[in-house]
Structure formats: structure tokens, C-alpha cells
Chains A and B, each alone.
Chain A
């Protein structure tokens, strides 16, 4: 019962924050609402027994990527952007198509709902020492993607530094 209430609270917070991200005129406010959306998602991760992912979401996403966003927003702030038109000319078409996509997903979930049982959901204890499990899987089976991800980060770092320089 408490489980459900907490889940609905975090889900509502995530959805409301997401809507506010997309509709705010002020970019800094959008960034703040994205931070709350990410924190709400972290709460949902914690409820789904993904403790390591909860903390990784807070440290990396909310505490790293969003700091980057906020920095950039403050560096290239345009006061005139508050008075420009916020939505592009074909917004109605985009909105409609997005709703169609969403409806398709909703249909897929609704139709497949009975088949999502897969026998019985695994017990929560299967994910218990979350950090250890993630570490075990990450460093044994997915070692190659792990190394590739580190090279990806290196490339991104070099790219970002080169992009931001005034004179290459």
C-alpha cells in the first residue's frame, strides 16, 4: 500500500516535471524541472530495487550532466530569448505525431499486459546486493562494451574541448 503511494508520487512528480520542462519559456526553469524529473526517476529506480542505478543517476545525471547544462545556459544566456516565439510553425503536426507514437506504445503495453507476467516476477532478493551484481555482470560479460564506453567518453572529452576552443 505504501509502495503504491510512493510509486504514484514519484511517477506524478516525473510526469509533471517533464511537462514543465517542455513548456517553460525560461531555459533555466526548464533545467531545474529536468533535475526534478531526474530525481523522481531515481526514486523509481530505488523502488524497483536498483540501488546502484539510483545512486549513479543522482551522481552522473542530476549532479553531472545537469550541472553541465546549467553552466552552458548561464554562459550563453540570451535575454531576448524570453520574448521570442517558443514553438515552431508546425507544432501541431509534431504534437499529433507524438501522440500517435504514444498511443501505439500504450496499445502495445495494454495488449501485452497479460503476457508480461512471464510466470512470476523474480523475487526482489534476486537483485539484492545491487552493486555487487552490477559489478559482476559489468566486468565479466560486458567487459568489452565497458572498455568501448570509456573510449567513447575519451572521444567525447576531446571533442568537447576542441569544440569549445576559440582557435583550433
Chain B
């Protein structure tokens, strides 16, 4: 009996390793995304960010995690203790579970469900319960209001995000994440270029889905004192925070898989662009060289050594990434190039998407809640429905009537943009005080 169990576990070693990697590594990665956000925020505000803890602030997440672990665990008196304990767990579990259907490269995927993308969307929808139950069980007005507002926002933008995904799925023809990426490879163009309106809707909706600015009213410090997270302290708050940043990674992964070509390099199926295969190693070499260049200019000795160490590490990574380009190595380990380079391109795209999130956070002021709901229901949802219609029409024109895809898709994109413009103009009119739709 035990032999059977062990044999079974060995036969599923790959998903097991991926699962362990996600549960062990993702919290650390989320912590470093927090550090990256603080550094990016500092850069956009012309200052330096965390610099003290570790060289250039690189040990800051570890210090933060340590602090949160040893903080006093405060449980409000009248709260429903079981639900109070359980709510952050729901958030974190759903966020990490959603990563299980996503493929970081052809080698790294826990389960290639054939309803993969819908599974991720559904599990993210379940994460709403963590927020609502957390706000409820805190027995505090701020928390409940913040939780209800946040849940209302999430539900509204989830509809728009889902319809935007449907727009992309019409092009892909399948729900399995692996096959979506392969379809983009066969088609030659990433779906973000074929259906740009859908990608834009998904970008905006995903910012609202993860409670990021400019849609972060439910948890902004000046508004509701951190909303549903108000009464949570120490490690429970860290779990909520971890869930939020993991959700960011999940949402970025969905967008990358569906719209940005997943683990494919740009122009994956055109052999002329094969020189782009050298970009991963070149990029790492460039950054390593920059580290070596900056090393003598550091004020403190440990920072000098650290920069040299980082430079060396990047050079090693560059060599590893250049290995698959040597044909002999490629024959020894089949699929090495797809595995390594695929992971690199995927992580690069996810990183750029998250950088865009941060960029938008530090650029735009916050939306008021009624403006937020109006944007979701009266602009994004009608636009996403029209987008689905447009892509359907374009597919019929392209596949059944034989129009070239250089004419069909830009035409429907232009028509959808016209509708978007009209929706925006109509919304402006209502905002200016003129009644557009008769009051119910």
C-alpha cells in the first residue's frame, strides 16, 4: 500500500515540484515585488527608497517578514473568532491555487486543465470571500464598509474582465493555457495586437480586480484606514498582503498567457527574427556589465562587493541562458531552449505588466467609489460586450468570407473604438449634469 503511494507520488514528480516551488518561492517573490514597488515609487518620486537594510535595501522584505511574524496578534473582542481566523486563509489559498493552472514556461505547470483559464478566473472569484468575511468578522464599521465596497468593485470588474477574456478566447479557440500559447505561436501574432481593445479592457479590469490604484479606494490609508484589513495585525495582515501581490502575479500571468504570447519570444514563428533568441543572454550581460560599472562608485565597501557579486550572478545566468543556443547542448536535453527561454520571456512579460501596474499607481489619482462603479458598469461592460461582438464578426469575416486578417481585425477594432468613444462621450455628458438615461 505504501509502495503504491510512493510510486504514485514519483509518477507525478513534476507537478509536485512545481507546487512546492509555488508555495515556497511565491511568498518570497511577492515580498520582493513589494520591494520593487517601493523602489519604483521612489524612482518616480525622485528619491531612493529603502537603502539601509542590506545592500540597496535588498534584505528589506526579510526584515519586514520577520517584523510581521513577531508582532502581537490582536483579535477584536466581539468578533466571530472562527471566521476571523479563516478569512485570510481563503484569500491566500485562492490566490495560490489560481497559479496552478498557469504555465510559466512549457516545463513549469501544475495541471494543464482543459478548462484552465476559466478555472483561474473562477478561483480568483472565490478570493472575494476572503475579503468579505474578513471585513465582516472584524466587527468594525470601517472594515465592513471597506469589505463591501471592495467586494462590489471586484464583482463588477470581474464581469468586464471575464468578457475581455472571452474576446481573447474566441481567437484562441480553447481554454487550456498551454494550447492558447501554442495557438498564438501558430497564428504568428500575439492576441494583444489582434484584439487590442480586449487587452486594454483586461488591463483596466485587472487593476480594479487586484484593488490597485487608481481603484484602491477600499484599502487606501486616507480613506477607510485600510478597509477590510484594518483589524488584522501581524502575520494575518501579511497573509492578506501576500494574497494581494500573488493576485497581481496571477492576473499578470493570465494577461501574458492570453494576450501577450505566454512564453513565446516576439515573432516566434518567423525564422528571420531568430536573432531575437540572443536577447535573454544579452540582457543579462548588459545588466551584469552595468553592475560592474557601478561597483567602484558605491560609497560603502559591502555595497561594492555586493554589486560585484550581483554582476557575477547575472553573468552566470547569461551563460545558462546562452547554453541552449549551442546545438550540441540542445540535443542532449530535449526542449531545453523552450524551457529556459520560455520561462525567461514569460517572467519578463509578467514583470513588465506588473511594472505597468506600479507606473499607473504612481501616476493617477484615486477614483471615487461612484466614479469607479460607473466606469465599470457603464463603460467597461458595454465595451467588453461590443468587443466580443466585434471579434466574432471579424472571425466570421476572416474565416468564412475569406477576408484577409489585415482588413477584418483592424476594421472591427476601429468600430469597437468608435463605440468606446461614444460611451465615453455619453458618460461625460451625464457627469456634466445632463440626464442621459431617464432615472428609474
Measured CB to CB, the residues of A under 8 A from B are: 2, 26, 28-29, 32, 35, 51-52, 54-55, 58-59, 62-64, 66-67, 70-71, 74-75, 129-131, 161, 165
Contacts and interface: CB of A to CB of B under 8 A. Distances in A.
B108 interface: no
Contacts of B8: 2
Interface string B84-127: 00100000000000000000000000000111001101110110
A67 B132 contact: yes
Residues of A contacting B: mostly = helix
A66 B118 CA distance: 18
Nearest to B118: A55
A74 B148 contact: yes
Contact of A130 (B86, B115, B119): B115
Contact of A59 (B80, B125, B151): B125
B144 A74 contact: yes
B440 A70 contact: no
Given A26-B80, A71-B151, A58 B175 contact: no
Contact residues of B: prevailing secondary structure: helix
Nearest to B117: A55
Nearest to A168: B440
Contacts of B155: 64, 67
A52 B174 CA distance: 12
A74 B122 contact: no
A161 B439 CA distance: 13
A59 to B, nearest CB: 4
Contacts of B121: 59
A51 B114 contact: yes
Nearest to B124: A63
Given A51-B115, A67-B128, A58 B123 contact: yes
Given A51-B113, A74-B144, A28 B118 contact: no
A94 to B, nearest CB: 29
A26 B115 CA distance: 36
Contact of A71 (B80, B82, B148): B148
B68 interface: no
B29 interface: no
Nearest to A161: B440
A63 B440 contact: no
Chain B CB within 10 Å, residue with most, of A52, A58, A130, A161:
A58
B83 interface: yes
The 4 closest A-B pairs by CB, nearest first: A63-B125, A58-B122, A59-B122, A55-B118
B181 interface: no
A165 B119 contact: no
Contacts of B151: 67, 71
Nearest to A63: B125
B164 to A, nearest CB: 15
A62 B126 CA distance: 7
B268 interface: no
B154 to A, nearest CB: 9
A94 B266 CA distance: 66
B126 A54 contact: no
Contact of B133 (A58, A70, A129, A130): A70
28 contacts: A2-B8, A28-B83, A29-B82, A32-B83, A32-B86, A32-B133, A35-B129, A51-B115, A52-B115, A55-B115, A58-B122, A58-B123, A59-B118, A63-B125, A63-B126, A63-B128, A64-B125, A66-B129, A67-B125, A67-B128, A67-B151, A70-B129, A70-B132, A70-B133, A70-B136, A74-B136, A75-B148, A130-B115
A59 B8 CA distance: 31
Contacts of A129: 114
Contacts of A2: 8
Contacts of A59: 118, 121-122, 125
Nearest to B173: A132
Contacts of A35: 129
B112 to A, nearest CB: 12
Contact of B440 (A51, A54, A165): A165
Contacts of A131: 114-115, 175
Nearest to B82: A29
A2 B123 CA distance: 25
B115 A54 contact: yes
Contacts of A52: 115
A51 B175 CA distance: 11
